[in-house]
Amino acid sequence: MAWLSLKVLLVGVSFLGCLYPLVDFCFSGETRGQKPNFVIILADDMGWGDLGANWAETKDTANLDKMAAEGMRFVDFHAAASTCSPSRASLLTGRLGLRNGVTHNFAVTSVGGLPLNETTLAEVLREAGYVTGMIGKWHLGHHSSYHPNFRGFDYYFGIPYSHDMGCTDTPGYNHPPCPACPRGDRPPRSPKRDCYTDVALPLYENLNIVEQPVNLSGLAQRYAEKATQFIQRASTSGRPFLLYVGLAHMHVPVPFTRTPLSADPQDCTPYASGLREMDSLVGQIKDRVDRTAKENTFLWFTGDNGPWAQKCELAGSVGPFTGLWQAQQGGSPAKQTTWEGGHRVPAVAYWPGRVPINVTSTALLSVLDIFPTVVALAGASLPPGRCFDGLDASEVLFGGSQTGHRVLFHPNSGAAGEYGALQTVRLEHYKAFYVTGGAKACDGSVGPEQHHEPPLVFNLEDVAEAVPLERGSAEYQRVLPKVREALADILQDVAHDNISRADYTQDPSVTPCCNPHQIACRCHITSQTDVSTSRHIRK
């Protein structure tokens, strides 16, 4: 399995090691005090209304709400896609899936990942003198050169994909539930749904699997510890740093052990507990930034896409973006759709002294904008020979403008239509759909896929997308040609761009497995970061 490939790779890249001390934190003499640090935190399947600052009924995000009060909150901020891998690929490249090649999710058995000719944000910043770290969910390929250590990250600690893509001893609150990993000689039970029962969920530290199956109950605290250690060591060294944290929350809540209980029974749901634990993790990272590099660190929190439909079973809040028209047609306002509930995500920016405090921005922005904005603030250059879909949002962040995108495109992400195709267009405060349906509702039913020519058009003053404009109305006729022109322009632009193709080939032999002789690949290796924290490598 993949352990064979990793052994080969370790021979050639042993300088990466499996511990922090082998990351080059040494100061070169040119970067101290000149370049800002960046902390990017990406929540998983977090709804717009899960942020208390966005939705008063949410009471579980005190740290994030405080960060919003001390910084800038974005209320019209969007994921680059409505599912995991494409959204993450766009964050790290600033390009839509039609350009970077990642149009749908990678699997446990995926041979490929984010195409190697795509340049990541980490690669750009490392070239500019930054030390780079990634904590948490990757989901852009784990086999061979697709691993984070080969995509610009000096340090990696996390799970290579979603935390429900492997069995554990403490399964999360999926609906319906999946069984725990088998033990001893007992064969895995056959679940009634798509569950992973043969191979346990792995936890990596750089190229090594250090635990399989990972203990999900303590994972959030381990992520917090690794993130704060990275910030502390990078700050002490004087090197500027990029830390990208891909949270496991709120994809599938897990049995928590460290989350404070609430007196309110409604707040004791698995989903509410998950929100509080996620918020605590973010608070720990922010506190470390405040203590070590407050004036020179830009912290950006957002989400990869909207929530799964199983939130209905877990009492999660969904906010105002309920997609009434979609619900009426038998679908669901959730992840994978291009309704607002699928891609409008919470977003908060925090940088004391630079980002104005307690500001709500209505600028139309996207996860796509993180790449060009961070590159510009770092004083680096965009990779040549390709087009980008994001924009530099610095002027918005620093309070000098409320102007973001005029047009955004929401790619098909697994519900209706071909993967990655651009059939939903946001134009100012209008939104046009050429395809709808195909989503799984809370009761498990799937709505029929429906194509619309001419497209459905909504005025987003109707935030629930409840009633489309009448096709014969003057408003519709005024908007339609602008939508058609915008769509034609980007398709022509993509056709002439330097685009990539992701390898979605699957091979069971690349499944991460630290011990193929044990049932479910069980192993536990003491993290070598606990052994020594004093050695460094000079590059």
Task: Give catalytic residues, as residue numbers.
Answer: 84, 139
Rounded distance, CA 521 to CA 80, Å? 35
Which tokens sit at 335?
A: 């992840």
Q: How far apart are CA 203 and CA 213, in angstroms?
A: 7
CB 133 within 8 A of CB 153: yes
Distance separating alpha carbons of residues 246 and 223, to the nearest angstrom: 9
Contacts of 147 (CB under 8 A, 6+ apart): 9, 141, 156, 160, 207
3-state secondary structure of 466: coil
Helices (H), 437-495: 474-495
Instruction: Provide the 8-state DSSP code for 27.
Output: -
| Cα first-last separation, the chain | 32
Q: What are 367's two structure tokens?
A: 């996860």
- Determine contact, residues 516/4, Cβ cutoff 8 Å: no
| Secondary structure class of 110 (helix, strand, coil) | strand
Asked if residue 269 lies in contact with residue 335, where contact means CB atoms within 8 angstroms, the answer is no
DSSP string for residues in 290-350: HHHSGGGEEEEEEESS---TTHHHHT---TT---HHHHHTT--SSTTSSSHHHHB--EEEE
